[in-house]
Amino acid sequence: MKRERSVKIVATLGPASDNYEMIRKLHEAGADVFRLNMSHGSHEKIAELHAIIRKVEEDLDSPIAILADLQGPKLRVGEFKNGSEELEIGADFRLDLDDALGDLKRVTLPHPEIFAALEAGASLLVNDGKIRLKVKECGADYADCEVVIGGTISNRKGVNVPDVVLPLAALSEKDLADLEFVCELGVDWLALSFVQRAKDVWDARDLVKGRAAVLSKIEKPSAVTSFDEILDASDGIMVARGDLGVELPVQNVPPIQKRLVRKCRAAAKPVIVATQMLESMIESPMPTRAEVSDVATAIYEGADAIMLSAESAAGDYPIEAVQTMDNVAREVENDPTYTEVIESSRTAARTTVADGIVAAAREIAETTEIKAICCFTQSGTTALLTARERPRVPIIAMTSQLRTARRLALTWGTLCVMTGELERFKSAVVSAARAARAAGLASKTDQIVVTAGVPFNIPGTTNILRVAPCDERLIYASDPE
């Protein structure tokens, strides 16, 4: 399905969007990727949603990416005798391993790994940072704290520990079961929560065994510190600004977002900007001006995708939220300033033949009347490299691998078209010309750039570029063999 924009839209599914009619409408409105939140919903429900998405994909003949987002370890306090307590600034409060119900002085924190890593002076954030505790003294089974920011603390509220790398695996027992389930189900992308270091990603990759592409969520300060190594281990990145904005001062998040997006672009790996993008649209049919500016900023930075969470999963206006993102994206990408910003932030990479081929394709497209770049790709790498160039013309990713087409639905600027396995470059050029015309991107009087690897059907062999007419009669005339 051809979009009038290059950035992709990820829509989370939930109670507001869990049937065929709604999922189809969301895709038609602009959703390119559907996110299945493994924190909610049984395996039976997840399988049902997966089947519906695949049915929509078949009915519309449009490759759709499915992203399964693992929950990750959840750190929570225990329960209170009174259900909640009011902590005042300057008061003492203890966290420990005692199973007794909590009170105004203490509560259980059933995670010995946290106590093993804590040091005096460390901060503990409770209930999304609404309460801040500072550790005064700690041991193997307790932490005596001072209340720095007070408020209401209640049963099972989440705890963030921003100052230390916790000796916790990124995959809990639930995550391990969910990972195996969704990989067997056939999702295209697997998002890892609670990533702290590259080892977390490599451990997950060992379990995934290539059945899905692995995307790391950057939501902890330690992940920002180790980002280069995490990026190297990952197939894609999500800048998960929710927890990141809890564990870091909020003013730190925008420059971090900008740096991470640029690094992902330079590495030719897809990057999603997520969390609270159009949050007011959970209850309102119109976004705030600040939210629109936030979405626009991510697009100006060159993010591959922008994401809706509760807006499409549980909101009152899921279709309107997708349409709003689509409208903002088209307006931004038609702004001459957008082209200037994208091209000024382009990172040159000329280390392989494929790098040179895709760079040449982009330069030719920008200096002549080329309507599209058609790249033949088996693994998706050539399309990713082409997207890294952020060309001014659409990218048509031609592949015989449905799995590759689905994964590329997350990648900037790519229109994925299925093609049969090809043996000759001339046949590839003819297929590319037909695909460009069928998509409405070119007419018979136009030209396209075609890139491919010869011999065909071998990943990583991109070595040829041709400027070709979109009229196959001219293709055959110029190359009768």
Q: Burial of 95 by CB count in 10 Å (0-12 exposed, 13-18 middle, 19+ buried)?
A: buried
CA–CA dist 188, 403 (Å, integer)? 7
Residue in the block written with tokens 């491919």:
452
Query: Among 217, 362, 426, 466, which one carries the catalytic annotation?
Result: 217
Query: Among 8, 24, 35, 220, which one carries the catalytic annotation?
Result: 35
Active site residue 403: no
Residue type, 10: V
Q: Bridge-partner residues for 95, per DSSP?
A: 107, 143
Query: Among 54, 74, 76, 130, which one carries the catalytic annotation?
Result: 76
**381 token code pair:** 């790498």
Instruction: Let me know the angle formed at the C-alpha of 312 by 156 and 53, rounded to the nearest 5 degrees.
Output: 110
Instruction: Encode 432-462 in three state secondary structure.
Output: HHHHHHHCCCCCCCCEEEEEEECCCCCCCCE
For residues 166 and 114, is the Cβ–Cβ distance under 8 A? Answer: yes
CA–CA dist 229, 304 (Å, integer)? 20
Query: Among 12, 275, 404, 411, which one carries the catalytic annotation?
Result: 275
Instruction: Let me know the angle formed at the C-alpha of 331 by 60 and 338, rounded to the nearest 5 degrees.
Output: 115
**C-alpha distance from residue 336 to each of 26, 104, 299, 411 (Å):** 29, 58, 13, 22
Active site residue 217: yes
Q: What is the CA radius of gyration of the chain?
A: 24
Active site residue 275: yes
CA–CA dist 64, 380 (Å, integer)? 15
Nearest Cα residue to 394 out of 64, 1, 4: 4
CA–CA dist 321, 311 (Å, integer)? 7
CA–CA dist 91, 377 (Å, integer)? 62
**477 token code pair:** 């005339």
Between the CA atoms of 178, 30, 306 and 14, what dihedral angle is there, to the nearest 10 degrees? -40
DSSP state of 389: T
Active site residue 262: no
Between the CA atoms of 79, 81, 84 and 90, what dihedral angle is there, to the nearest 10 degrees? -100
- Spell out where 339-385 has E strands: 370-376
CB neighbour list of residue 48: distance below 8 Å, 6 or more residues apart? 18
Q: Where are the alpha helices (DSSP H) in 5-164?
A: 20-29, 43-60, 112-117
CA–CA dist 318, 122 (Å, integer)? 40
Phi, psi torsion values for 371, nearest 5 degrees: -95, -25
Q: What residues are annotated to the active site?
A: 35, 76, 217, 275
